[in-house]
Amino acid sequence: MSNKNLKIDGDNAGRRIDNYLFNVYKALPKSKIYSMLRKGEVRVNSGRIKPTHKLKINDEIRIPPYLINFDNETPDIKNIERGTITEDYIKGEKKPLYTLSKKSKRTG
Protein backbone atom coordinates (compact mmCIF):
# COMPACT_ATOMS: atom_id res chain seq x y z
CA MET A 1 0.00 0.00 0.00
CA SER A 2 1.19 3.47 -0.72
CA ASN A 3 1.09 6.36 1.69
CA LYS A 4 -0.52 9.73 1.23
CA ASN A 5 1.68 12.80 1.51
CA LEU A 6 0.30 16.23 2.35
CA LYS A 7 2.34 19.36 1.68
CA ILE A 8 1.96 22.32 4.06
CA ASP A 9 1.16 25.70 2.56
CA GLY A 10 1.50 29.17 4.09
CA ASP A 11 -1.99 29.06 5.62
CA ASN A 12 -1.16 26.10 7.84
CA ALA A 13 2.43 27.01 8.68
CA GLY A 14 2.91 27.54 12.41
CA ARG A 15 0.06 25.20 13.42
CA ARG A 16 0.60 22.21 15.65
CA ILE A 17 0.46 18.86 13.86
CA ASP A 18 -2.30 17.54 16.11
CA ASN A 19 -4.55 20.56 15.48
CA TYR A 20 -3.89 20.31 11.74
CA LEU A 21 -4.90 16.64 11.68
CA PHE A 22 -8.03 17.38 13.78
CA ASN A 23 -9.04 19.85 11.08
CA VAL A 24 -8.28 17.53 8.14
CA TYR A 25 -9.90 14.42 9.66
CA LYS A 26 -12.84 15.89 11.56
CA ALA A 27 -14.70 12.59 11.94
CA LEU A 28 -11.65 10.78 13.32
CA PRO A 29 -11.50 10.68 17.15
CA LYS A 30 -8.78 12.74 18.79
CA SER A 31 -7.57 9.69 20.67
CA LYS A 32 -6.92 7.92 17.34
CA ILE A 33 -4.93 10.90 16.02
CA TYR A 34 -2.81 11.03 19.19
CA SER A 35 -2.30 7.27 18.99
CA MET A 36 -1.06 7.54 15.38
CA LEU A 37 1.35 10.30 16.39
CA ARG A 38 2.72 8.31 19.35
CA LYS A 39 3.23 5.17 17.24
CA GLY A 40 5.02 7.11 14.50
CA GLU A 41 2.42 6.33 11.85
CA VAL A 42 2.23 10.03 10.96
CA ARG A 43 5.59 11.51 10.03
CA VAL A 44 6.79 14.95 9.04
CA ASN A 45 9.72 15.13 6.59
CA SER A 46 10.34 11.38 7.10
CA GLY A 47 10.81 11.73 10.85
CA ARG A 48 8.74 10.91 13.90
CA ILE A 49 7.29 13.93 15.64
CA LYS A 50 5.44 14.81 18.82
CA PRO A 51 1.90 16.21 18.84
CA THR A 52 3.32 19.62 19.77
CA HIS A 53 5.44 19.85 16.59
CA LYS A 54 4.85 23.14 14.72
CA LEU A 55 4.47 22.82 10.97
CA LYS A 56 6.58 24.86 8.56
CA ILE A 57 6.00 25.82 4.94
CA ASN A 58 6.76 22.94 2.52
CA ASP A 59 6.75 20.29 5.27
CA GLU A 60 5.58 16.91 3.97
CA ILE A 61 3.23 14.95 6.20
CA ARG A 62 3.07 11.19 5.62
CA ILE A 63 -0.41 9.80 6.32
CA PRO A 64 -0.89 6.03 6.98
CA PRO A 65 -2.33 4.05 4.05
CA TYR A 66 -5.55 3.15 5.88
CA LEU A 67 -6.53 6.85 6.07
CA ILE A 68 -6.19 7.57 2.35
CA ASN A 69 -9.79 6.62 1.59
CA PHE A 70 -11.11 7.66 5.01
CA ASP A 71 -14.70 8.92 4.76
CA ASN A 72 -14.62 12.25 6.58
CA GLU A 73 -18.39 12.58 6.90
CA THR A 74 -20.55 12.18 9.94
CA PRO A 75 -21.71 8.63 10.72
CA ASP A 76 -24.82 7.26 9.04
CA ILE A 77 -27.82 7.50 11.38
CA LYS A 78 -28.86 3.93 10.51
CA ASN A 79 -25.61 2.51 11.88
CA ILE A 80 -25.73 4.13 15.31
CA GLU A 81 -24.47 1.77 17.97
CA ARG A 82 -25.49 1.63 21.57
CA GLY A 83 -24.67 4.78 23.54
CA THR A 84 -23.71 7.02 20.61
CA ILE A 85 -25.02 10.48 19.84
CA THR A 86 -27.27 11.27 16.91
CA GLU A 87 -26.26 12.80 13.57
CA ASP A 88 -28.16 16.06 14.23
CA TYR A 89 -26.11 16.67 17.36
CA ILE A 90 -22.86 15.99 15.50
CA LYS A 91 -23.80 18.59 12.90
CA GLY A 92 -24.67 21.05 15.69
CA GLU A 93 -28.32 21.36 14.70
CA LYS A 94 -29.98 20.06 17.86
CA LYS A 95 -29.42 19.41 21.51
CA PRO A 96 -27.79 16.07 22.36
CA LEU A 97 -29.99 13.00 22.04
CA TYR A 98 -28.51 9.74 23.18
CA THR A 99 -29.67 6.39 21.89
CA LEU A 100 -29.43 3.36 24.12
CA SER A 101 -30.20 -0.25 23.37
CA LYS A 102 -31.41 -1.84 26.53
CA LYS A 103 -33.17 -5.16 26.71
CA SER A 104 -36.28 -5.46 28.77
CA LYS A 105 -36.11 -7.61 31.92
CA ARG A 106 -39.74 -8.63 31.49
CA THR A 107 -40.40 -12.15 30.40
CA GLY A 108 -43.79 -13.18 29.47
72 in Cβ contact with 26 (< 8 Å): yes
Express each pLDDT in 18-53 by its tens digit: 999 999 888 889 999 999 999 999 999 999 999 999
Q: How far apart are CA 52 and CA 83, in angstroms?
A: 32
CATH number (domain holding residue 45): 3.10.290.10
Position 87: which residue type? E
pLDDT of residue 70: 60
Same domain, 56 and 94: no
For 45-92, how does the pLDDT look when each residue is reduced to its tens digit (9 = 90+)? 999 999 999 999 999 999 888 776 665 554 444 444 555 555 555 555
Q: Note whether 14 and 57 are same-domain residues.
A: yes
In a domain, 108, yes or no: no
